[in-house]
Amino acid sequence: MNVTEQKSVSEVRLLDPLSKVTRKERRNLLIANSLGFVMIKVGVIPTKISALGIEFSLSDQRALLAFTALLIGYFLISFLLYSATDLIAWRIAISRTRLNILKISELHTGVDEAEVREIRRRLMRWALSSRPVSFIRAILDFGFPIVYAGYVVWILLF
């Protein structure tokens, strides 16, 4: 691998940690959460479906809420499984990048140390900002859907 092709740890940390499949599961979870939230907080629980000629009694409406909670539970479990895999792969990529950088730096001796220090100083400024940004993104990508799902299931069932 060429030194110029090597990504920094900060660059790897800022890559999208979620795969396409996990993003779809996250989207489905958030949609189901929002549906459940609207049903409870806004009170939009269908009493009948005219096109099918179906009317819901009060017990049927409770069953619909329970079904929505189960649906959210399914999407939550799917998202947890896929996102755990992606999170582990993301952390492995960061660790592997650190290791590769160490190996490359051991191979290259005799370079202009002043130039290397200047490059490292500039990179360090960006690297310092990558950690909080990646942490906030991880909370948004991983944490928020899980907490939101737990809240909506709670209000649907209790």
Which residue, chain included where needed, has tokens 């944490």? Answer: 143
Q: Find the domain containing 146 and state its range.
A: 3-157
Kindly state the greatest CA–CA separation across the chain: 82
Q: In the prediction, which pLDDT does 133 show?
A: 81
Taking residue 72's Cβ as centre, other Cβ atoms within 10 Å add up to: 24
Exposed/middle/buried for residue 26 (C-beta within 10 Å: 0-12, 13-18, 19+): buried
Q: Where are the alpha helices (DSSP H) in the chain?
A: 9-13, 20-37, 58-107, 113-138, 144-157
Q: What's the total number of domains in the chain?
A: 1
Token output for 59: 């017990």
6: helix, strand or coil: coil
pLDDT tens-place string over residues 29-56: 999 999 999 999 998 887 777 777 778 7
> Is 0.85 surpassed by the pTM of this model?
no
Q: In the prediction, which pLDDT does 38 show?
A: 94
Question: Do residues 39 and 65 make contact, with C-beta atoms less than 8 angstroms apart?
Answer: yes
pLDDT tens-place string over residues 97-156: 877 776 676 666 555 666 667 666 766 776 677 778 888 888 989 999 999 999 999 999
Question: Do residues 29 and 72 make contact, with C-beta atoms less than 8 angstroms apart?
Answer: yes
Token output for 12: 């790897």
Q: In the prediction, which pLDDT does 2 show?
A: 47
pLDDT tens-place string over residues 53-94: 778 787 788 888 999 999 999 999 999 999 988 988 888 888
Q: In the prediction, which pLDDT does 70 show?
A: 95
pLDDT tens-place string over residues 16-32: 889 999 999 999 999 99
